[in-house]
Structure 1
Amino acid sequence: MAINTTLLAILSLGSACLLHFMYRLFTHRRWFKDLPQPPHDFLWGHLKIMGEVAATMPPNTHPQAYLTAIAQKYKLKGIFYIDLWPIAVPQVVLTDPDLMSRVTINQPLQMHQMADEFLSPIVGHNVIAVANGSIWKKAHNAMAPAFSKSHIRSLTDVIVEETMQFRRALDQHAGKGDVFSMEDTAARLIFDVIGRILFNLKLHAQTEGSALLGDLREMIHLAQAQLSYNPFVKIGLIFKRREVLSRLNPAIVGIIKERLSILRDQKTVPSRKNPYSILDLMLREHTLDEDQMNEKSENLTPEFLELLVTNMKGLLLGGHGTTTDTLCFIYMLLSKHPEAVQKLREEHNRVFHANFAETLDTLLDSPQKTSELEYTTAVIKETLRLFPVGFGVRKAEPGVTIDYEGKTYPIDNNLVVIPLPHAVHYCPSYYPDPTSFRPERFLSSDPDSTAANANFRTFGRGARACLGQNLAMTELAIILLMTIRDYEFDCANLKPNKEPRTRWTNMDLRFGDVVFQELGLEAKPRGGMMMTVKKV
């Protein structure tokens, strides 16, 4: 009797759960009726379509490529919806620049909690890139002076010094004639630069190796593995992550406390007009006057210390990731475009000097001259157009809608709102012949330049645009100025595809699968971007 009662209870509970699931399935799928979308299946939503598109590309391709492929395959313009329930949160994708501006500039939406959930295992909660409200405002106001154009120009000597070490690494590879990972080599360069800007310290990643860099990159690998649906994998990652964080967090805390001790010993209040480092600006929020300088250096609240550690990790990763990726893709593209290399060299000789030593002297004396490198800037922007670093995800408040071509569409209901630069950058309506590497489209003399610059969205727009974009553009311009004249790069082990994998690009006919950016912290180079280099 007891067994029958228990069995009946289990069957009743199972039936109730099944009915609840079917009710949610029906109401959820019905919500998408009459919305712009790819073909919608009542049972699968768009899960099968997403799987089919993903299967056409190499493993772990960044999802921006999937969404662009769907938009082009099904001729979806401006706005469309993706139903991935119950596997993932449903999405509304914006592929019209005006719509993107409305949710980032006109009525900026908050960052979606999904971004914080992805980043928090790596850096912690509320890093500036995904924080909202007062937390974001405080961090942004503190850091902004360090990213001004004038301050970045004052750091030219730092970028030059670290790039000279990068040249020495290239000399060694050229002498050996070996195949090396440009991603790893460039990451050490950019990490040393961002370390100087963050901490006003030399991190020596290029010369001695950096445990800090190694641990941060390991955290990214662990975050990628966290996407696994295998519960045993997830459990194992918890212990691995704790092991890495037990080294990483104390190292950064040590740097923070040491710097605060120095400031207090010197009774120095960091200046917003001429900051020594971003850390100084953040500490300024804690030590605003000389009276506080007399307090013990350990007197940092746990909350403030956690916020500092989180943002230092976030800036170390973000600061070196985007620039590293872009430099890899620039060298990749230039390897197949000698005409662009020649134009770069001619511009560098004209604006600076044909002699390398005199070029450095001019650069250090007049760093503002990098703004005259119009073609160099165009090469960087064209690379970022073809290989954007990814997208930010937003969330609308209940009841928020958006108008497009005379119709009103909902963007709330816990949807992930995705402004998708990748789709804009590969749309012929915005960029004629979009799969071609043509830097000239960004030159002021080109008739398409106004539209090209207006629709360029890699760094985002509005108050939440990438804080470090001026730094990234300046770093890349100086690195190109100091390398293109003396080195030629070639991709190694390329296996060009016989047929294009997708509708949105045919570059894989020349470069193979390396053109499909991998999902990392951002859309990163595939396989480490293996290269060879030789001296000119």
Structure 2
Amino acid sequence: MAIGSILVVVLSLASAWLLNFAYRMYRHRRRFRDLRGPPHSWLWGHLKVMGEAAATLPPNMHPQAYLTVIAQKYNLDGLFYLDLWPAAEPQLVLTSPELLDQVTVTRVLPIHQMADDYLAPMVGRNVVAAANGPVWKKLHNSMVPAFSWSHIRSLTTVFVDECMHFRNTLDQLAKTGETFSMEDTSAKLVFDIIGKILFNFSLNAQTEGSSYLEDLREMIHLAENQLSWNPFVHISTFFRRRVVLARLNPSIMAQIKNRLSMLRQDQIVPSRKDPYSILDLMLREQLQDGGELKEGKDVEDISPEWLELLLANVKGLLVGGHGTTTDTLCYIYILLSKNPEVIQKLREEHSRILHPDFNETLNILQASPHKLEELEYTGAVIRETLRLFPVGFSVRQAEDDATISYAGKQYAMGNVVVVNTPHTLQYDPKIYPKPDEFIPDRWMDPDNMPPRNAFRTFSRGARACLGQNLAVNELKVILVMTLRDYDFEIADLVPNKEPRTSYTKLDTIYGDRIFQELAMEAKPPRGGTMMRVRKRS
């Protein structure tokens, strides 16, 4: 073929592509130009507005902060649309408790497909947090007993035992006076706890190190690379992910199969009322039929699809179970380091509700775990931290003709990502006076407490976080076992002279570490949460 003919073909294809691109852009821009939202551009849509919000914040921010900046800058109460084509799907952002209830409580919209697509490279498809329909119902029903209050209380001894290893680590760090990563140190503690709850044995991350923890944290880091525009980053990420998964997946699958074989051999059908582990609950349906033990099936005869689903959810629980709690614990220690009056109130509550003596406190915790629910101020500190630093938002999808009611009007929800963002809601000054300040006491006055449905860190309704009560009790035990005997100090503290953005001024105290980065969720403080610890006399 002559060069001229090739050139004609190339130019024809390029012209066709440009025409198609221009037509699609026109359709997108026309659809959103008059909808409720920030200023709209025929050329940029809302990409420029998003870019301006990002410019006020440090790099690699979780996008929940951008939405808060936009909502406050343009006074967008309740809901607004974002036209982000071609960089991202168009969005309908919901920021009021009543609207969020419409899509999570009154009617439960399914999780958007993009959540499963984002998690799949890290842990696999159809983890309980991203699954829908019968798959979600099956997974949810199998796991629910592990998160009942009676079972959570029974786990207090697990929390105490693993936290003793954490105290030993803090003792050594206090002796040397060295700077350490609270993120890395607390992640090992929380990972051992979730490992014990999931498998019924400790993963020994604190004492021996855990390859599971290292591999899963690397998978989270590799997931961050998915957001890069550099094709070479994607290529290197693809091959590195294959190496990690080739090591991680067979190891976890072996644990699953070994446990299933042992239960079959011993003819045990795990109890829903008193489960040994979450894994046993997920294996239960393969072991019983109408309440009786199934006969004859060997482990290798189990459906490969079901085993893949189980593998994905074990990894998902390991990642999610330790991630959120680690993030929150790091922020609690950071906030307390500059609020000695809050620490004093916590110590007084721990001595009053439990016991002034540490050993007696441990005895009471294990004999009467319900006492944890009496630690109201400790719960207020945890809740206030989660208000300031929610772990991210959920994304939902609706039918093409679905609408949502707001201020007497109907707004379309079809063909957009419906974003439920607790961050924007929980920085709303109309609901939370002085939202940019750390004020645990706002949760202590029943007459002036924020509305129940205005705290959305764990979401609400049928798709609310299964592990929220587990995480809160776990954090309470850790705080009881550390705050009495240790003081924590932020290392290399560099406060900002002026606030970077409108919604918070905490960076003038703690620097850029208070701005949450994007990973699987909103990550813990930047730089690994470098701290020093001192043992109290």
Partner of 2:88: 88
Aligned equivalents of 1:453, 1:486: Cα separation in 2: 34
Write the mapping of 1:443-462 to structure 2, written as runs, cut at 5 A.
443=444, 445-449=445-449, 451-462=450-461
**Secondary structure at the counterpart of residue 404 of structure 2:** strand
Once the 2 structures are TM-superposed, how far is the Cα of residue 13 of structure 1 from its aligned partner?
A: 2.7
**Secondary structure at the counterpart of residue 408 of structure 1:** strand
Partner of 2:287: 287
**Secondary structure at the counterpart of residue 93 of structure 1:** strand
Partner of 1:373: 375
Kindly indicate whether the alpha-carbon contact (under 8 Å) linking 1:440 and 1:446 is maintained by their aligned counterparts in 2: no
Once the 2 structures are TM-superposed, how far is the Cα of residue 205 of structure 1 from its aligned partner?
A: 0.2
TM-score normalised to the size of structure 1? 0.98
Identity over aligned pairs, percent: 62
Partner of 1:324: 326
Kindly indicate whether the alpha-carbon contact (under 8 Å) linking 1:442 and 1:453 is maintained by their aligned counterparts in 2: no
**Secondary structure at the counterpart of residue 520 of structure 1:** coil
Kindly indicate whether the alpha-carbon contact (under 8 Å) linking 1:68 and 1:504 is maintained by their aligned counterparts in 2: yes
- After the TM superposition, which parts of structure 1 deviate over 6 Å for at least 4 consecutive aligned residues? none
C-alpha distance 376-293 of structure 1, shift in aligned 2 (>3 A): farther
Once the 2 structures are TM-superposed, how far is the Cα of residue 520 of structure 1 from its aligned partner?
A: 1.3
Partner of 1:335: 337
AA matched with 1:225: N
AA matched with 1:138: K
Partner of 1:168: 168
AA matched with 1:206: Q
- The answer to whether 1:30 aligns with 2:30 is yes
Once the 2 structures are TM-superposed, how far is the Cα of residue 226 of structure 1 from its aligned partner?
A: 1.7
- The answer to whether 1:410 aligns with 2:412 is yes
Partner of 2:391: 389
- The answer to whether 1:442 aligns with 2:443 is yes
- The answer to whether 1:238 aligns with 2:245 is no
**Secondary structure at the counterpart of residue 298 of structure 1:** helix
Aligned equivalents of 2:279, 2:391: Cα separation in 1: 25
Alpha-carbon displacement from aligned partner over 1:259-295 (angstroms, at most 9, x marks no partner): 1121112110011111000100000021114542653
Once the 2 structures are TM-superposed, how far is the Cα of residue 301 of structure 1 from its aligned partner?
A: 1.4
Kindly indicate whether the alpha-carbon contact (under 8 Å) linking 1:395 and 1:417 is maintained by their aligned counterparts in 2: yes
Kindly indicate whether the alpha-carbon contact (under 8 Å) linking 1:179 and 1:531 is maintained by their aligned counterparts in 2: yes
Kindly indicate whether the alpha-carbon contact (under 8 Å) linking 1:62 and 1:519 is maintained by their aligned counterparts in 2: yes
Aligned equivalents of 2:329, 2:270: Cα separation in 1: 33
AA matched with 1:434: P
AA matched with 1:360: L
Write the mapping of 1:198-277 to structure 2, written as runs, cut at 5 A.
198-277=198-277
Once the 2 structures are TM-superposed, how far is the Cα of residue 17 of structure 1 from its aligned partner?
A: 2.0
**Secondary structure at the counterpart of residue 402 of structure 1:** strand
Once the 2 structures are TM-superposed, how far is the Cα of residue 12 of structure 1 from its aligned partner?
A: 2.8
Alpha-carbon displacement from aligned partner over 1:321-340 (angstroms, at most 9, x marks no partner): 00000000011111111111
Aligned equivalents of 1:387, 1:154: Cα separation in 2: 29
Kindly indicate whether the alpha-carbon contact (under 8 Å) linking 2:33 and 2:41 is maintained by their aligned counterparts in 1: no
Alpha-carbon displacement from aligned partner over 1:208-227 (angstroms, at most 9, x marks no partner): 00001000000001110121
Write the mapping of 1:500-515 to structure 2, written as runs, cut at 5 A.
500-515=499-514
Partner of 2:354: 352
Partner of 2:365: 363
C-alpha distance 168-31 of structure 1, shift in aligned 2 (>3 A): same
TM-score normalised to the size of structure 2? 0.97
- RMSD between superposed Cα atoms in Å: 1.2
Alpha-carbon displacement from aligned partner over 1:5-50 (angstroms, at most 9, x marks no partner): 4433333332222222111111110001221111111111111221
**Secondary structure at the counterpart of residue 227 of structure 2:** coil
Greater Cα shift, 240-249 or 16-25: 16-25
AA matched with 1:473: V
**Secondary structure at the counterpart of residue 301 of structure 2:** coil
Aligned equivalents of 1:407, 1:452: Cα separation in 2: 24
Partner of 1:315: 317
Partner of 2:471: 472
Once the 2 structures are TM-superposed, how far is the Cα of residue 446 of structure 1 from its aligned partner?
A: 4.9
Once the 2 structures are TM-superposed, how far is the Cα of residue 452 of structure 1 from its aligned partner?
A: 4.6
AA matched with 1:265: Q
**Secondary structure at the counterpart of residue 111 of structure 1:** coil
Greater Cα shift, 295-304 or 165-174: 295-304
Total equivalences in the alignment: 533
Kindly indicate whether the alpha-carbon contact (under 8 Å) linking 1:157 and 1:364 is maintained by their aligned counterparts in 2: yes
C-alpha distance 293-533 of structure 1, shift in aligned 2 (>3 A): farther
Partner of 1:432: 433
Greater Cα shift, 141-150 or 45-54: 45-54
Aligned equivalents of 2:395, 2:48: Cα separation in 1: 23
Partner of 1:483: 482
Partner of 1:517: 516
C-alpha distance 447-48 of structure 1, shift in aligned 2 (>3 A): same
Alpha-carbon displacement from aligned partner over 1:439-468 (angstroms, at most 9, x marks no partner): 11111x35321x253311100000000010
Write the mapping of 1:105-120 to structure 2, written as runs, cut at 5 A.
105-120=105-120
Aligned equivalents of 1:206, 1:294: Cα separation in 2: 40
Aligned equivalents of 1:34, 1:77: Cα separation in 2: 17
Q: Structure 2: any 5+ residue segments left out of the alignment?
A: none
AA matched with 1:134: P
- The answer to whether 1:73 aligns with 2:73 is yes
Aligned equivalents of 1:287, 1:18: Cα separation in 2: 58
**Secondary structure at the counterpart of residue 434 of structure 2:** coil
